[in-house]
Structure 1
């Protein structure tokens, strides 16, 4: 039996009001659920509404219509926002905009100080959070001396110290170089394997390929949903939505067109290698002379 949803998004619509005559609809009747321990990726081209949707998940934005429920708490209830944001933490696109202190461990402790966690427990939480993201040795460093990937790891540690049930990443790797992206993806994968619920808004298809489930957005609506394998084998549909597919998916589809026995729904490079090996004819044994 499937677990009860951690987050429920029900018929959510939202528009940005610039002035009385300039209202920009962004979300249009969006509904989906996020389950405990799940790794959910949300993709869509610029302007599809995915970042706005991510801010709905912990009450940074509230719907014009519909509801968002976090473990039974409605984000419309402002009195519940502190508890909702403790349970659903956000990591944003720009690492520098999330750091507030001059020393790493003070930055991780900032949120704990705001909610009045006792000093003895605070130290333990900071230690555990830094260890979880592999940044313990940098605890006395100034954050501005760190790389982009390291800064994002500190931002994630600050969220982890709050002991959330879910972490939402809004394009958290988009400003990083390839090394920084690998750092963050490694941390995300480790946290998810340990049971943390992850919602990742991303434009990197290779990142979405690692998720359990993918939502595809277009003009403020969910237009496609499924496992990465189910979604990325629909390359023509994704291209029509101005989205790409992982390189491994492109290669698998191209090989399949020439060799129909080759699986067309592969999404990872290692799967390509495994499939090539699987289809190799058995080697003839060389008898001794």
Structure 2
């Protein structure tokens, strides 16, 4: 398994937040990243590939008078959307490149990798998909969300093998699932009661091959729940009058930590 080691900045970049496992925090990470970038005046087009039920669309989408996302979203101001599981719609993953955006984020639903392989490759790998992106000067970054469960680690290994060094890879340790390294035994490895060492192999190979590892800071559960219910990203929550001053302060600390981590991956995420 060989990952990318070339850190030269491409003309254009597409960030794909993906995992075979659902419920690992892809949408929360995606909405935080996009809203943070826009606050930094970094132009980024956002797409939710889970259709009208997608969480990213609900959070980033431009809302109408009823408080719900409007149709016909401008992906650079709100959030475009399509259903990657639909044979009629999945090509939008690739065709959005033709709009000319230099930085694009695609939030994929759990287990959507098979649908990526059906866009132009007839279910057999992603060679032509990557060739098509290359022809438009677009470099791919795969963002892997890592949690405490072994399935999220299996996903890193599988996607790293599928895309190899034709994409850049960033592993994001989601600290909302644990604060200590020991809370992520299958990623960092652990020792059994019989002193047998297990786990950690995927992380070792990932880093050895040139992958980048960063952390997604934890956010107090109650504050997270209120932000999610308000259908807004953390960057807007800091000025939400319904949140207590202490809660807004918690969000500000979260965003400062997030800023530090994202800059570690820098160009791979389209950050100057």
TM-score, L = length of structure 2: 0.29
TM-score, L = length of structure 1: 0.28
Question: Which protein has the larger Cα radius of gyration, Structure 1 or Structure 2?
Answer: 1
Structure 1 or 2: more strand by fraction: 1
